[in-house]
Amino acid sequence: MKLEKNRFGDCMAKIYREDDADLGFLKGKKICIVGYGSQGHAHALNLRDSGLDVVVALPEWDKDYWKKAEKDGMKVLKLEEIDGDLIAMLIPDMVQPGVYKKFVEHRLRDGSTILFAHGFNIHYNQIVPPKNVDVIMVAPKGPGPLVRRMFLEGKGVPALIAVNQNSSGRALKIALAYAKGIGATRAGVIETTFKEETETDLFGEQVDLCGGVAEMIKMSFEVLVEFGYQPEVAYFEVLHELKLIVDLIYEGGIFNMWKAVSETAKYGGMTRGKRIFTEDIKQEMKKILREIQSGEFAKEWILENIAGRPVYTKLLEKEANHPIEIVGKEMRKMIPWLK
Ligand code: NAD
Ligand code: MG
């Protein structure tokens, strides 16, 4: 495969930096962060430390989050009191539509902004905001605690940014100001769409990051154990050592990994890897992507939630009881640098 000709200098995507963003687009506006979990706490604190006017909204029953936010000096509102020029939906994706319908929709007014950190609910029409508001996304490419830590160190976590509805004519400027407020423009912010962010996110976690990696580890473990090798030895080989390889890839790309491993690993890996990841697998990946694009996966997952997650619960239980988990629990006790 070949990459398309560059549209923006060395990068193919549009990337915004510190100077492209102006906090002024949020000055004098009231920002309401709904949720104080992974992303919520980091956004709220970073925006406040950037000099913006921030409140947090939480369900009354969630006492721990409520206490944490108050301890951090945030003003906390009940969901019934949600109000602001910009409302950021930073609660789990599956509960957002219900909270939106009950507590947010009637609070939106002409020129309001509603912000997401993931495109699922907008892209699959689980939330349909009125036409007179801006709908934007600022999605950090890292967990909330890292977003906070980098900010405190004067750095930032890269983020994706998107505009789905630009009623005010300033939606992109507002999204950039928010990205600057949480520190993301210090690292760089990539422009995308709700569609691209949602579909690539689901594809990545299904075939590569979560689904793909978990099956690859379990299957290679099973093969070694079925051939009579000790499960403890297999565990270290197929799971534990994966971190070293992923670290090399993360820090410098796949070729960086090839450079670091032995000559035998290079030759064996380059000739055998292709026999595992065959054209059939690529065809299946395309099928999975089409299920994401058509909305078939989203529908399945939404219905699964409505039904009380019967399939999800069964599968999760099976994962928890896989032999590699049992061996792994023991083996990790031998590793002093793991808590
Ligand atoms: P989270 O699970 O940490 O959210 C917890 C918060 O949600 C708590 O404040 C809790 O009080 C609130 N909450 C839980 N159930 C609720 C309910 N029924 N009604 C109202 N509030 C409820 O969420 P998160 O991981 O920060 O994700 C928030 C958004 O950010 C999601 O759209 C997610 O896709 C996106 N995102 C997450 C990450 C990440 O690393 N966690 C990264 C990028 C984007
Ligand atoms: Mg993701």
Separation of CA 241 and ligand 2 centre (Å): 23
Question: Among 271, 250, 275, which Cα is nearest to 260's?
Answer: 250
- Pairing of the two strands 53-58 and 30-34: parallel
Choose which residue among 38, 64, 135 to substitute to test ligand 1 binding: the one with the highest number of ligand atoms within 8 A of its C-beta.
Answer: 38
pLDDT average, residue stretch 180-194: 98
Exposure string over 145-163, b if 16+ CB within 10 A, otherwise e: eebbebbeeeebbbbbbbb
pLDDT average, residue stretch 208-221: 98
Using CA positions, which residue lies closest to atom 44 of ligand 1? 117
Q: Residues with Cβ within 6 A of ligand 1? A: 35-40, 58-59, 62, 65, 90-93, 95, 99, 117-118, 139-140, 143-144
Any idea which residue has 């690859």 for tokens?
216
In sequence order, the 6+-apart residues with CB closer than 8 A to the CB of 146 are 157
Ligand 1: atom nearest CA of 35 is 9
pLDDT of residue 4: 67
Whole-number CA gyration radius for the chain = 23
Between CA 29 and CA 312 the distance in angstroms is: 41
The token pair that represents 266 in the structure block: 């290079």
Contact 29, 115 (CB under 8 A): no
Choose which residue among 39, 141, 178 to substitute to test ligand 1 binding: the one with the highest number of ligand atoms within 8 A of its C-beta.
Answer: 39
Separation of CA 242 and ligand 1 centre (Å): 29
Give φ, ψ of 181 to 5 degrees: -60, -30
Give φ, ψ of 327 to 5 degrees: -65, -40
pLDDT in tens, 309-328: 999 999 999 999 999 999 99
Using CA positions, which residue lies closest to atom 37 of ligand 1? 39
State the ligand closest to the CA atom of 62: 1
Question: Does the CA dihedral 297-303-306-309 come out positive or negative?
Answer: negative
Using CA positions, which residue lies closest to atom 25 of ligand 1? 38
- Confidence category of residue 8, pLDDT binned at 50, 70, 90: low
Integer CA distances (angstroms), 107 to 71, 79, 101, in order? 27, 11, 10
Q: Residue 9: is its pLDDT beyond 70?
A: no
- Confidence category of residue 193, pLDDT binned at 50, 70, 90: very high
Contact 36, 58 (CB under 8 A): yes
Between CA 117 and CA 111 the distance in angstroms is: 20
pLDDT of residue 12: 81
Q: Residue 7: is its pLDDT beyond 80?
A: no
In the beta sheet, which residues pair with residue 140? Answer: 159
Using CA positions, which residue lies closest to atom 29 of ligand 1? 90
Separation of CA 79 and ligand 1 centre (Å): 14
Say which amino acid occupies 10.
D
Contact 241, 233 (CB under 8 A): no
Separation of CA 92 and ligand 1 centre (Å): 4
Ligand 1: atom nearest CA of 62 is 11
Q: Residue 82: is its pLDDT beyond 70?
A: yes
pLDDT of residue 2: 73
Q: What is the mean pLDDT of the chain?
A: 96
> Which one of the listed residues 41, 43, 106, 118 is annotated catalytic?
118
- To the nearest whole percent, how much of the chain has pLDDT over 70? 98
pLDDT of residue 6: 62
Separation of CA 1 and ligand 1 centre (Å): 37
State the pTM of this model. 0.95
State the ligand closest to the CA atom of 159: 1
State the ligand closest to the CA atom of 203: 2
Clarify whether 123 is annotated catalytic: no
Question: Among 223, 160, 220, which Cα is nearest to 190's?
Answer: 160
The token pair that represents 200 in the structure block: 């690539």
Using CA positions, which residue lies closest to atom 42 of ligand 1? 143
Between CA 237 and CA 243 the distance in angstroms is: 11
Separation of CA 138 and ligand 2 centre (Å): 13
Ligand 1: atom nearest CA of 36 is 9
For 38, other C-beta atoms within 10 Å of its C-beta total 19
pLDDT in tens, 99-127: 999 999 999 999 999 999 999 999 999 99
In sequence order, the 6+-apart residues with CB closer than 8 A to the CB of 161 are 16, 136, 137, 138, 139, 172, 175, 176, 179, 184, 189, 190, 191, 192
- How would DSSP label each residue in 79-115? GGG---SEEEE-S-TTTHHHHIIIIIGGG--TT-EEE
The mean-pLDDT minimum among 3-7, 12-16, 79-83, 276-280 falls in: 3-7
